Structure 1
Amino acid sequence: MRRLILILVSLGCAAVAPLSAQSTARVGLATRVFHPEQRRNWRGAEHKELRCTIWYPAASTATETKQLIGPPDEPLFEAGSAALNAEFAPALRKLPLVLLSHGSGGSAEQFAWLGTALARAGYIAVAVDHPGNNSHEPYTSEGFILSWERATDLSEVLDGVLADAEFGPHIDPQRVGAAGFSIGGYAVMEIAGAQTDISILFDFCKEHPDTTSCHVPEMRGMGSPKEMLQAVRKSSRESLARSGESFRDERVQAVFAIAPANGMVLTDESLRAMRLPVEMVVGKTDPIADPRDNANWIHMNVRGSRETLLSGGVEHYTFLDTCTAAGKSKLGVYCADNAGVNRDAVHAQVAAMAVKFFDRALKAR
């Protein structure tokens, strides 16, 4: 997925019915740009800002429109349906919030399938474009290597949305969760208290250079992990020096990781020390984030965690938004599901799991 193919469009399309027959709740859609005041590592990104997409429960009078990703005349992904800048649904109490972290080289919009489902279930869902590693701007070596900085993005987005004049009053700061896909799954483990030993990854890739996790499709043209690290040492020694620190945000009370990547670099000591609810779901034969090196390792060490392995050919990119016919013809591996895999059905299954998990962890309070 390159940067030019993921532009959210079609805000004026015809109205469509709610996606789920189980709920008549409407979904609102908004965007925000946050500019943290403190000094931070922007990972060489073109834009020194945190751009976010927000899904939330909208008033019953809101009119949803179909949302698409890609060029207006030939969109590449379907992004559910939502009502742009709709009024909030009336609520007797403040709502729980879920932070969303996209996969490597992806975008906030690629979480539309989960964001809309959470909003229909009574949550505010906020996804951020991670600097240096999102499809709206050129990729950077720092964006790939300094993955722990994603946790700082999530914390500062949480600061921003709580202070937002429109969204802040609707959020219960005592009921905050986080969900992430792929390297975003790693990011939410970091914000939950897991700590990184980045040398594990580089040693592994040195010994097993042909392993898929050492040269994922998004890194094409970026060089080897070793070459990228050499470049980052020149620009981000301070960030590298604190890679093993804790980025725990105590406001986050539960995390849901989808096909988490880089799990092997999370130290067993820090995983065993975690005490908040953790649930994971991954394709059983995922070639990008092999469960044996990632979700299984996390599950083995986090007390009380849950792991679900999906069979039937579900793989890594099944968790991206559903592709249009144009997307399937142009985007190769990102849209190439195995025979018999219904991406919409997988999304519905995993979204229901996430809602159930956060209901149990956050709404029961």
Structure 2
Amino acid sequence: MIITFFFLLAAPAIAADVGFEEVRIANGTQPPLTAGIWYPTNAMATPHSLGDSTQTVAQGGPVEGRGLPLIVMSHGGGGWYDGHYDTALALAHAGFVVAAVSHVGDTFNDQSRVLQLWRRPAQLRQLVDYMLDEWPSHARLNAGRVGAFGFSNGGFTVLVAAGGIPDLSKIGPYCEAHPDHDLCEALKHAGVDPRSGTEIPAGAWIHDPRIKAVVIAAPAFGFTFGRAGLSRVRAPIQLWRAADDRHQPHPYYEEAVRADLPRAPEYHVIANAGHYDFLPPCSARLSRKMPDVCNSQPGFDRAMFHEQFNAEVVRFLQAKLR
């Protein structure tokens, strides 16, 4: 079903503004993980630069509230932790603490391990561990109210975190059958053999049963799971597809996930939307720098869509993380 409109739902705010901080998280023998954290605060928020964007936050302000739910975020391939800052702001205004990690080896400045996909769920679990055990304000969190949000490669990541087990050996045959598809062309352009991710370390797929609800937008590698690979996913899922996604052609990604989940997700298909419309509206500077990411189809209002999208994400997570 194509969904072209939403009812905007006002979420009750528990604090006047949103606080923000950037942290470094120990990552074993690897370089530390970098994460952004948004949270409710009563400190005064002011505009601050974040990459190519500007967000209105109270940098380092005190956390307001107790028993707060936690949402962890996983960005798309070649992104970084700020990739869904507007959704993070909406969730923090609604009383959530949001932590987003930059995935080492799959960021805008480091694509060295793009097909070592098992590294991503492990990093996401490290983020949950840090937030619940080491974050200076961890006592204000409710460890029983943890959710996850992921886009593209991040959607794949949170599916694994929720119990999914992919079969990466499917990528090679997929690219042999669909060499013109974006994933396969991107791997070829990067000089990456589609079969190079098939040698997976034992116990590589790290799950996190603390995650009780999941929002997934345009999940990458959806075709690698299958019914058996998704049989252990029990958390409620809100699943989003862009109807005009030319990077992840239908039905190999979102539809493959929707059809094979053991429980039907809340499924949204957005008419006239492209893959990157799940990213926030771009600044003028970023639009000049990355037009392929920033330009939507004629007639599609990305800013209006994000107001609706964020409201629906907040509504779903409030309902599932009571």
With normalisation by structure 1, the TM-score equals 0.80
Residues 346 and 220 of structure 1, relative CA distance in 2, 3 Å threshold: farther
SS in 2 for 1:32: strand
How far apart, in 2, do the equivalents of 1:299 and 1:293 lie? 10
Deviation of residue 246 (structure 1)?
4.3
Q: What residue in structure 1 maps to residue 57 of structure 2?
A: 82
Among 124, 130, 149, the alignment partner of 2:119 is 149
> C-alpha deviations, 1:21-55, integer Å up to 9, x for none?
98573111011111044x6xx5xxxxx11110000
> C-alpha deviations, 1:174-229, integer Å up to 9, x for none?
1101000111001000000010100111111122211112234xx68521443xx5
How far apart, in 2, do the equivalents of 1:190 and 1:206 lie? 25
Residues 165 and 149 of structure 1, relative CA distance in 2, 3 Å threshold: closer
> C-alpha deviations, 1:237-285, integer Å up to 9, x for none?
5xx2437x64221111111101111111113113133221011112111
> C-alpha deviations, 1:281-339, integer Å up to 9, x for none?
1211111123411111111121131210000x211111223211222222120111111
Q: What residue in structure 2 maps to residue 52 of structure 1?
A: 35
Deviation of residue 351 (structure 1)?
1.0
Q: What residue in structure 2 maps to residue 200 of structure 1?
A: 170
Q: What residue in structure 2 maps to residue 310 of structure 1?
A: 270
Q: How does 1:209-358 map to 2 (within 5 A)?
A: 209-216=179-186, 221-226=189-194, 229-230=195-196, 237=199, 240-242=200-202, 246-302=205-261, 303-311=263-271, 313-358=272-317
Among 101, 110, 117, the alignment partner of 1:138 is 110
Residues 81 and 328 of structure 1, relative CA distance in 2, 3 Å threshold: same
The answer to whether residue 164 in structure 2 is matched with residue 183 in structure 1 is no
Residues 147 and 207 of structure 1, relative CA distance in 2, 3 Å threshold: same
Q: What residue in structure 2 maps to residue 26 of structure 1?
A: 17
How far apart, in 2, do the equivalents of 1:50 and 1:58 lie? 25
The answer to whether residue 38 in structure 2 is matched with residue 65 in structure 1 is no
Conserved in 1, the CA contact under 8 Å of 2:181 and 2:249? Answer: no
Structure 1 portions without partners, runs of 5+: 1-19, 43-47, 71-75
Conserved in 1, the CA contact under 8 Å of 2:75 and 2:151? Answer: yes
How far apart, in 1, do the equivalents of 2:56 and 2:299 lie? 25
How far apart, in 2, do the equivalents of 1:28 and 1:158 lie? 19
Residues 352 and 220 of structure 1, relative CA distance in 2, 3 Å threshold: farther
The answer to whether residue 311 in structure 2 is matched with residue 362 in structure 1 is no
Residues 224 and 139 of structure 1, relative CA distance in 2, 3 Å threshold: closer
Conserved in 2, the CA contact under 8 Å of 1:183 and 1:262? Answer: yes
SS in 2 for 1:122: coil
SS in 1 for 2:317: helix
With normalisation by structure 2, the TM-score equals 0.90
Q: What residue in structure 1 maps to residue 80 of structure 2?
A: 107
Deviation of residue 105 (structure 1)?
0.4
The answer to whether residue 144 in structure 2 is matched with residue 174 in structure 1 is yes
SS in 1 for 2:231: helix
SS in 2 for 1:35: strand
Kindly provide the amino acid, as one letter, of the partner of residue 260 in structure 1: P
SS in 2 for 1:329: helix
Question: Which contiguous aligned blocks of 4+ residues in structure 1 show a shift greater than 3 angstroms?
Answer: 20-25, 67-70
Conserved in 1, the CA contact under 8 Å of 2:11 and 2:314? Answer: no
Kindly provide the amino acid, as one letter, of the partner of residue 32 in structure 2: E
Conserved in 2, the CA contact under 8 Å of 1:215 and 1:224? Answer: no
SS in 1 for 2:248: coil
